[in-house]
Amino acid sequence: MAMPEKPVLEGLETKWDARWETSGTYAFRRDEATRETVYSIDTPPPTASGSLHVGHVFSYTHTDIIARFQRMLGKQVFYPMGWDDNGLPTERRVQNYYGVRVDPTLPYDPNFTPPNEGDGKTTKPADQLPISRKNFIELCERLTEEDEQKFEELWRTLGVSVDWKQTYRTISDDSRRTSQLAFLRNLERGEAYQSDAPTLWDVTFRTAVAQAELEDREQPGAYHTLLFTSQDGDLRIDTTRPELLPACVAVVAHPDDERYAHLIGSEVETPGFGVKVPFVAHPLAQPDKGTGVAMICTFGDTTDITWWRELNLPNRSVLGFDGRFVPEAPEAIATDAGLELYAEMAGKTVFSGRKTLVEALQSSGRIVGETRTITHPVKFFEKGDKPLEIVSTRQWYVKNGGREAEIRDRLIELGRTIDWHPDHMRVRYENWVNGLNGDWLISRQRFFGVPIPVWYGLDEDGNPDYDRVILPSPDQLPLDPSSDVPAGFTAEQRGVAGGFVGEVDVMDTWATSSLTPQLVGGWGGRDDELWNLLTPFDLRPQGQDIIRTWLFSTMVRSMFETGKAPWEHAAISGWILDPDRKKMSKSKGNVVTPQSMLEQHGSDGVRYWAASSRLGMDATLDPQNPKMIKIGRRLAMKVLNAAKFVYQMEGEAGDIANPIDIDMIGDLRDVIESATESLQDYDHAKALDTIETFFWTFCDDYLELVKERAYSGDPVGQGSAIRALRSAINVLLRLLAPYIPFATEEVWSWTNDGSIHLAKWPRIHDLPTSAQSRGMLSAVGEALIMIRRAKTDAKVSQKTPVARAVIEGPSETIGLMEQAASDLAAVGRIEDLQFVAANELGVGELEFVQQEEEASSERQTPLQVVPNEATPEQKAAASEEATQVLDLSELRAELDDDN
């Protein structure tokens, strides 16, 4: 391919993405693969309905660098891409985009067309058109497909070397089948079970949520002091949730609290409702909180659940699934006044129920003192807008060690079998495992997701008997129990006494994405050969925020299925912070769209920015001034230009004979060794630093130094230089290829047929000389700097000819410099270049060294070259003197004569 007159970065993304696609550059060549030669990646599936942000670009670049490195090492890289279309984000987006909502009672309409087709408007639920579940799911599939197209375009622009034939969607038939199969196997082995128990509940979405989906938010609240009645008279109890008083089942104090010891075992009466409840003791009660006595309600918080369980208390729930007080008062409320009070609260929300109760008790004098407002952390569903309530419902769970120490220990053990990058991320995993307080709740009362594939038998009254679980046969999968019929039944028996009813819940989105290795790897009899080829996967790359969800849940599923960890390495990327060191997020309005970033600065530049951060380290990005991206762009540009410069040198490559050429290649050998080692250790940033540092030295010093010789016509010197230059460029391109794949591929194409990304990673025995570096390049670089500085100090062009120059320094350094004397003289335009050993004190104790200043009096163009070790005073003196005697007009004249 022809080398362009003036190489540019613009357009390289489109050009090369298309060629990589048609050439199948990144295709996984299965027939050529064995487990030993495969490098398999368990790529994170981005949420299809979200938008990609710079954080994605950041972490996917990290993964891509590893993928490209491994590919160049000769591995068959299995690098798939998946999309997570399950879950609430999709559901919500579809509701708003099409203006619809699910009504599960409606029949499927095959000719349905959505009322709206546009993004950006949030329609109110009242305006949304009710449609059947199946129609809704079809819309979800349609919209996510459109989203996935956009995502793919972005990844292609970024140069992520994914094999686009290896893609999966978590809503596809295969994925649903895999997910349901894995669930049924968990069920078969007793790892999945259903239980009717208090559950954290989001009243807006009307679904149960799992521990991993919780987050605390600071909320305003208020302490009220209620007066209960004990055998001693008034008993003061502080609470922030007075509205749960009708659900009060006991009051509790710490067993060692002497103030209340005599009351333990007695009964007290609740204010307003007149219910007698036991006074119990429990170590979780904190004497210093409030009055030291707490009321136990079903259920105000998770501590209530613990008390309720451990103290074997009755359940008097008052909040319904909609977060409102249920119509019927708990049976324990028997007084007329109590029933009347409850009737006022029934049907109200938590907020107005509280108001009603507080006003009633204040007027009857059973709330005393001032209410004290506070702010305190309250549990929320991470995607929800209202505080979670706790309701008792039947739900499906998968064991995760939250209740069994033995499972926890195995999970910790498996976590130690994988290499974490960085290593301390393992601690986060272990902290999470050790802090679990319940099994994994996988059922969700939602519509879009993978259905739980079971039915229940109906008794003779037509009520479901949840103990009679009817299971499908594996060949029925994937299935939807609300439309499919279990074996041995007919469709007419659905909902009929003695018949069956389908489970209406779907699985948590993590229940499917915890199976990404299985989804993409052909598990479950779909492709056993592939599964054996890929597992355990080599790499799980992901963000640190989803260690507790994705990483953990994948580990759980793998432990139950295989008894092993699903991967050998986990690479954890950090956050993107804005200039104020805040995590970037949509709600803060400080996000930059990756598309605009890539368009504006080019993919190689953006990749460079991402690559300069180590795994696990947060990176800053100032969208107004993306410094690192600009530097990356400059590097890519320099690669194009330096390579072009080298390739346009005419002349035959000869043997590497010149000492400086040998030494440069020797330095390059060290770079290859160091960069390879870093990359094998998943330290892409360190490798890049090593490569880049050498590359700039190569351009600024070596290339400048030898270019005169490369053009000289001296067959030996020229041949050596050209050979060295071409070898070095060739190696440097390959070293940089994982980082800046577009610029390097462009340059590679000028002199090669195949893709650089399928070229072999450089090895030291490929170099044209096996000699070790003696540090000549850096010594000569020093000399170059001295010469340049002298000219800069003299305020003359670097091109200015010099009659005589003397370089001083320690004899060892001088010796190295001397071997490049002719190159130095050529680049410095020095007629008479001499080297003088300075006294032995040299390095280390410079301030005592008296440097002799050399000056040529000939032709009155003195150039003083002062070794870098000189003190600032000496430098100043030298420069001053030189300036004084310098005849600039004469210099200019000489320069003009040259031209």
Contacts to RNA from residues 365-384, by CB under 7 A = 374, 376-379
Choice between 73 and 846, CB closer to RNA: 846
Where would I find the beta strands (DSSP E) of 453-596? 455-458, 464-470, 500-502, 506-507, 537-543, 567-573, 576-577
Tokens of 744: 């390097």
Q: Is residue 743 within 8 Å of 12, Cβ to Cβ?
A: yes
CB of 202 to RNA, least distance (A): 15
Report the site for RNA in 870-889 (rule: CB under 7 A): 872
CB of 531 to RNA, least distance (A): 32
Report the site for RNA in 492-551 (rule: CB under 7 A): 544-545, 548
376 C-beta neighbours (distance < 10 Å), count: 13
Give the residue, chosen from 108, 112, 223, 531, that forms a contact with RNA under the rule CB under 7 A.
223
Tokens of 369: 């003192």
Cα angle 198, 239, 322 (rounded to 5 degrees) comes to: 40
Q: Rounded distance, CA 256 to CA 26, Å?
A: 68
Q: Residues 37-76: x/- map of binding to RNA (CB under 7 A)? A: ----------------------------------------
Query: Could you tell me the end-to-end alpha-carbon distance of the chain, in angstroms, rounded to an integer?
Result: 35
Report the site for RNA in 634-653 (rule: CB under 7 A): 634, 637-638, 641-642, 644-645, 648
Report the site for RNA in 277-316 (rule: CB under 7 A): 284-286, 289-290, 293-295, 300-303
The verdict on 239 binding RNA (CB under 7 A) reads: yes
Choice between 480 and 670, CB closer to RNA: 670
Tokens of 503: 């489970």
**Cα separations (Å) of 168 from 48, 136, 522?**
12, 21, 11
CB of 236 to RNA, least distance (A): 10
How many residues bind RNA (CB under 7 A)? The answer is: 98
CA 639 to chain centre: 29
493 C-beta neighbours (distance < 10 Å), count: 16
Cα angle 96, 170, 540 (rounded to 5 degrees) comes to: 120
CB of 888 to RNA, least distance (A): 9
Backbone angles phi, psi at 201, to 5 degrees: -135, 130
Report the site for RNA in 815-844 (rule: CB under 7 A): 843-844
Backbone angles phi, psi at 191, to 5 degrees: -90, -20
Cβ-in-10-Å burial (0-12, 13-18, 19+) of 284 comes to exposed
359 C-beta neighbours (distance < 10 Å), count: 12
Estimate the crossing angle of helix 659-680 against helix 715-736, to 10 degrees: 10
The verdict on 861 binding RNA (CB under 7 A) reads: no
Q: Residues 782-821: x/- map of binding to RNA (CB under 7 A)? A: --xx--xx-xxx-xxxxx----------------------
CB of 580 to RNA, least distance (A): 9
Report the site for RNA in 672-731 (rule: CB under 7 A): 685-686, 689, 693, 696, 699-700, 703-704, 707-708, 711
Report the site for RNA in 417-436 (rule: CB under 7 A): 424, 427-428, 431-432, 435
Report the site for RNA in 315-374 (rule: CB under 7 A): 374
**Where on the phi/psi map is residue 858: left (φ > 0), alpha (ψ -120 to 50), or beta?**
beta
Report the site for RNA in 103-122 (rule: CB under 7 A): none
The verdict on 125 binding RNA (CB under 7 A) reads: no
Q: Is residue 541 within 8 Å of 475, Cβ to Cβ?
A: no
Q: Is residue 706 within 8 Å of 823, Cβ to Cβ?
A: yes
Q: Which residues of 462-481 are buried (b: 16+ CB within 10 A; e: fewer)?
A: eebeeeeebebeeebbbbbb
Choice between 52 and 253, CB closer to RNA: 253
Among candidates 502, 508, 447, which has minimal Cα distance to 469?
A: 502
Choice between 54 and 139, CB closer to RNA: 54
Give the residue, chosen from 252, 280, 592, 728, that forms a contact with RNA under the rule CB under 7 A.
252
Choice between 186 and 239, CB closer to RNA: 239
The verdict on 581 binding RNA (CB under 7 A) reads: yes
Give the residue, chosen from 59, 90, 211, 443, that forms a contact with RNA under the rule CB under 7 A.
211
Report the site for RNA in 457-496 (rule: CB under 7 A): none
The verdict on 633 binding RNA (CB under 7 A) reads: yes
Give the residue, chosen from 262, 403, 416, 583, that forms a contact with RNA under the rule CB under 7 A.
583
Choice between 150 and 582, CB closer to RNA: 582
Task: Compute the CA torsion angle 555, 559, 562, 567 (nearest 10 deg).
Answer: 30
CB of 766 to RNA, least distance (A): 24
